[in-house]
Structure 1
């Protein structure tokens, strides 16, 4: 199973989500229920906040407008308090995050084993966002994600990101290829980088179709 997991990571160039392990129709309903007053209350371009609402996070960086109404909520490891979450989707966001965390732990354990590491390796790292960086390109490439959407009506998706948070002193934390994966035959592809430097570059370039890790290659 572990070997199959690694092959799937290496060979799949495109991933289209045809179904979820757990269906959360209520989460979509909650997002639909955000009226104008609620959107106004949470609207902000300050991505250091735990709960924000915005339409273009890269409005001043992207070559073209990339509008998508988005509610962003930080749920781990220092989660938003219940009072900080919009009332209309509060309960389902909390439950959804619990279920997704369990799924994420399982996936990261499988990836760790596929790389020949202890199952808890990535969990202890607080889920480094860029697996390509820490795996030294052992996972080959990120996949192109897609979402099945209706032809009519609002198009809504609920996405989750497992990454280190730029909080509680993490900004100066350095990430690089895992030492156990480096050898004379498998040299480092990336240099060590601080989380702050990576996040500044990621948000600064916007969604321009280029990989955020390219400037950090050796």
Structure 2
């Protein structure tokens, strides 16, 4: 009998795993040879048969050299933001040594003794620092094969002693680099929209920063689950650092396209809120992470968003008689709440709630 055929009490199993505070890694450490039913996804969500476009056309994820000719960089970013919603950047100013130590630090934390990690385990989203498995553990139809550490780094940083020793020093250093890079990227994106260079930064798009450390253990049944389900990010912009394992895919013209790891590069993707304020000029990237039998895979996404009560709607300068506003204004907090609800509805974007 397969794991998908076993009758089980999902709520009870979710609670039992949550109470171990050991996450997915705890299951692997226990020596499981089959994934529990609560991680089994519907076959249509895990299929990779559509990962290549028709006729096997070669599609390459844009790689943008930030030290290139300024006008060319703007044009490349505009093209990527309007089509893929995702691109890679090189010559971004963050030393390779810092990036590699950040990845190593996340791995050290997730591979700490459980007694150390348990101190950070929480499902309270108001906590600035925390660790758990699956943000939407009790909402989703199937759990993802992933554990996550999270930390709010701006507008106010946590105290040093609140951050795990495993990556305490490098996290603050890396986050400072990311804050600076975020300001630069929002300047370039502003220009790509035909706005003044400081427009998006003046809107506080770069004000808030949340850093996550994902840990995807090797999976005994990778064809049955996902490392991260299909989603777009409920933020303005995401900057992603990942190791060499790979597995990230972006949805492009209804097909899943692999995003190959590139050493020294960072992945940048447009978030839902930037799609909203750009009035659909820029596209939020729908993406997922496939599960693998190798690993662990480590990734460090940094989300630019803040939770003040400021309303965000389509930018006035982008509105005209030929391009009317497409969305109602919304606070980031309300948008995130709808994002969590939409996670229960396969294929539905939280953006749909705010369309006019």
| Range of TM-score over shorter length | 0.7 to 0.9
- Show the counterpart of 1:7: 79
The residue aligned with 1:152 is 294
Of 17, 30, 40 in structure 1, the residue corresponding to residue 118 of structure 2 is 40
> C-alpha separation between the residues in 1 aligned to 2:81 and 2:143?
31
Q: 2:137 aligns with which of 55, 59, 64?
A: 59
Partner Cα distance (2:100, 2:347) in 1: 30
Gaps of 5+ in 2: 1-71, 206-234, 237-272
Q: Secondary structure at the match of 1:161?
A: strand
Aligned 1:96-111 pairs, distance under 5 A: 96-111=174-189
1:194 maps to 2:331: yes
* Alignment of structure 1 residues 66-215 onto 2, 5 Å: 66-127=144-205, 129=236, 130-139=273-282, 141-145=283-287, 152-164=294-306, 166=307, 170=308, 172-206=309-343, 208-215=346-353
Q: Which one has a bigger Cα radius of gyration?
A: 2
**Equivalent residues of 1:62, 1:205 under 8 A apart:** no
Quote the residue 1:30 is aligned against: 105
Cα pair distance change 1:99/1:148, threshold 3 Å: farther
| Root mean square deviation, CA, Å | 2.5
Distance in 2 (CA, whole Å) between partners of 1:209 and 1:80 is 35
Alpha-carbon shift at residue 87 of structure 1 (Å): 1.1
Normalising to structure 1: TM-score of the pair?
0.87
**Distance (whole Å) between structure 2 residues aligned to residue 173 and residue 103 of structure 1:** 23
TM-superposition CA deviations, 1:151-182 (whole Å, max 9, x none): 62311111111112x2xxx1x32110011111
Cα distance change of structure 1 residues 150 and 18 upon mapping to structure 2, 3 Å threshold: farther
Shift of 1:147: 7.1
Distance 1:194 1:42 in 2: 29
CA distance in 1, matches of 2:137, 2:292: 26
Greater RCO between the two (CA within 8 Å, min separation 6)? 1
TM-score, length of structure 2 as denominator length: 0.55
8 Å Cα contact 2:80/2:86 also seen in 1: no
